[in-house]
Structure 1
């Protein structure tokens, strides 16, 4: 399910954006959860406990404008698709700081919003649809990359910890951990900070000198010899650019 957050301090505009987004999801048969926020602080508070795949943000709002809000979202979520809406075209250049997928002027044109949502959804699906097939004691299990918080190697068993708290274990095998994790390492979201661990950088809450604190409170150690590379890779990931302006 794709999660969409809409933030606008004007009630009528918020209701219109929500209505158009719901109509789009119905029309394209997209399973989505849509949450609305009338103040940017409410959205920031919500983001402490959950992340959204798509954010539709007004730019001119009280206390916290949409540009600052988008930049705050980017600090913890590089993969999210941000769509700006505004009556003020002069903020277009400033909006690049949050790397939005598009910048829509109000009044919102239905087809332009639909086209932008279609592009955003395609990018999100490309991100969340990748999966890994592993062999467990019960048979085989497909695990979505987007569900993985981290995996750990212990006595020839790889243990996957998922975002819902579930752990999935492979059968004991003689394949080196370095070979088992190749599909993950090829994906830009994953990093190996320690010989026995691979983390999903999308699920990192913060990086300390010696560990990554993951969603769920898990602490994953950073090996001394990997500290410099781990730091550089993680910073490149959270500061990197992606997406296009249309």
Structure 2
């Protein structure tokens, strides 16, 4: 498989530097890639690069349209692109969660950090088409994991909240065993897809859909650690 990687930064030297690190990763992993450079958010949008890019290294501080604004536009067209912000500032991290960024790389960026984040991006892309097979309403359904926001335990049933709500028999633990690392347990009653989490508080968890789930006492620290580790 050939991975489509893009670098969007208004500084030519920074684009060249990130490209050299990506090429260093390629020499170690032997993946096939095509690397494209963009000097601005506007160029990226004009060329409709969101249709083909799979992994994007995106600078935040750019003239006119910044990286956060570009990421919001990208998410209108492409939910699977692995967006990696490259920045010198920590203050944009919350906005990164809102656009489901894979990771933040703080400048100066090292080869080790590039290697790690690209390995994660490739693994995410490999599992992007993973599905959960369930029986609901007398039918066997294939539910893409990427579309499942959370699963709620309701006595002898579980309710899977995705594009629709699906009621399935079994235990929450049985479903948990079939899911990937994006899903974490929230107390005894919920499994949540971290890709949809906007904010974690000590008493409730808020999804980017506005839905709120209760966080049981004593669960905040473990849940927050899982969230930070995943992203």
Does the aligned pair in 2 maintain the 1:86–1:104 contact within 8 Å? Answer: yes
Given the two structures, how large is their TM-score scaled by the length of structure 2?
A: 0.57
> Could you say what the CA RMSD is over the residues aligned between the two structures, in angstroms?
2.7
Within 5 A, what are the aligned runs for 1:6-155? 6-47=7-48, 50-127=51-128
Residue segments in structure 2 that go unaligned for 5+ positions in a row: 132-137, 148-161, 165-194, 198-226
Q: Who is 1:151 aligned against?
A: none
User: The residue matched to 1:43 in structure 2 has which SS?
Assistant: helix
Does the aligned pair in 2 maintain the 1:85–1:106 contact within 8 Å? Answer: yes
Deviation at 1:189, TM superposition (A): 6.8
Residue segments in structure 1 that go unaligned for 5+ positions in a row: 131-177, 191-231, 235-239
Number of residue pairs aligned between Structure 1 and Structure 2: 150
Given the two structures, how large is their TM-score scaled by the length of structure 1?
A: 0.54
Structure 2 CA distance for partners of 1:19 and 1:188, relative to 1, 3 Å: same
**Residues 1:241 and 2:196 aligned together:** yes
User: Which is further off, 88-97 or 10-19?
Assistant: 88-97
User: The residue matched to 1:82 in structure 2 has which SS?
Assistant: strand
Structure 2 CA distance for partners of 1:111 and 1:48, relative to 1, 3 Å: closer
Does the aligned pair in 2 maintain the 1:55–1:81 contact within 8 Å? Answer: yes
Structure 2 CA distance for partners of 1:87 and 1:29, relative to 1, 3 Å: same
Question: Runs of 4+ in structure 1 displaced over 6 angstroms?
Answer: none
Structure 1 CA distance, aligned partners of 2:49 and 2:9?
19
